[in-house]
Amino acid sequence: MAFRTGQIGGVLIQDLPKHSDSRGWLTELFRSDELPKELLPVMGYVSSTEPGIARGPHEHREQADKFCFVGPSTFRVYLWDNRKDSPTFGNKIVLEAGAEQPKAMIIPAGVVHAYRNIGKTSGWIFNLSNRLYAGEGRREKVDEIRHENDPNTIFILD
């Protein structure tokens, strides 16, 4: 399958304004008054990714993620609409986010996603998901389809 560049239905990408003063800066990652109820986070985490390292591509069957890229490095982010019933099925988005271009993005279930740290330092990603990892009490199967483990994947990071 050949993906084409284009918007992806349900994906929301927002610039994250930094409010700076003499003490440093602040940016809002999440506000409950800006998200539909079904996308409200139920958990959050932060991860660190070393320079040159990629995470993904993978997707979720039910979970939506809200990734926040604020630095201190820069990431190349890849999104592919893999939802056969979506009007934007087959579309792909590639963008940069992080220290110089802070962004938040909502990634609905069925949208394959990956990112690579293209900066020179370790970078942080904050995720606010609308499902608990491995379910209540971590007793359920993890909701992931890990395309990065498939040597024949069609989801390629340039």
Q: Quick one: CA dihedral 33, 36, 39, 42, positive or negative?
A: positive
Report the C-alpha dihedral over residues 85, 88, 90, 91, rounded to 10 degrees.
-160
50 in any annotated domain = yes
* 54 contact partners, CB below 8 Å, separation of at least 6: 114, 115, 116, 117, 148, 157
Q: What is the pLDDT of residue 158?
A: 85
150 in any annotated domain:
no
Q: How far is 157 from 144, CA to CA, in rounded Å? A: 18
Structure tokens at 60: 């979720």
If you search the block for the tokens 């579309």, which residue do you land on?
91
pTM > 0.85:
yes
Confidence of residue 141 (pLDDT cuts 50, 70, 90): very high
Percent above pLDDT 70 for the chain: 100
Is 54 among the domain residues? yes
Q: Is residue 148 part of a domain?
A: no
Please count the structural domains in the chain.
1
Owning domain of residue 128: 4-18+40-134
In a domain, 28, yes or no: no
Distance CA 157, CA 134 (A): 27
Confidence of residue 50 (pLDDT cuts 50, 70, 90): very high
DSSP state of 46: E
Which amino acid is it at 77? V
How many Å apart are CA 109 and CA 89, to the nearest integer?
13
The answer to whether 59 and 147 are in contact (CB under 8 A) is yes
Residue 67: inside a domain, yes or no? yes
CATH at 77: 2.60.120.10
User: Radius of gyration over alpha carbons of the chain, in Å?
Assistant: 16
Q: Is residue 12 part of a domain?
A: yes
End-to-end, the C-alpha distance of the chain in Å comes to 16
User: In percent, how much of the chain has pLDDT > 90?
Assistant: 81
- CA-to-CA distance for 70 and 90, rounded, in angstroms? 28
In a domain, 156, yes or no: no
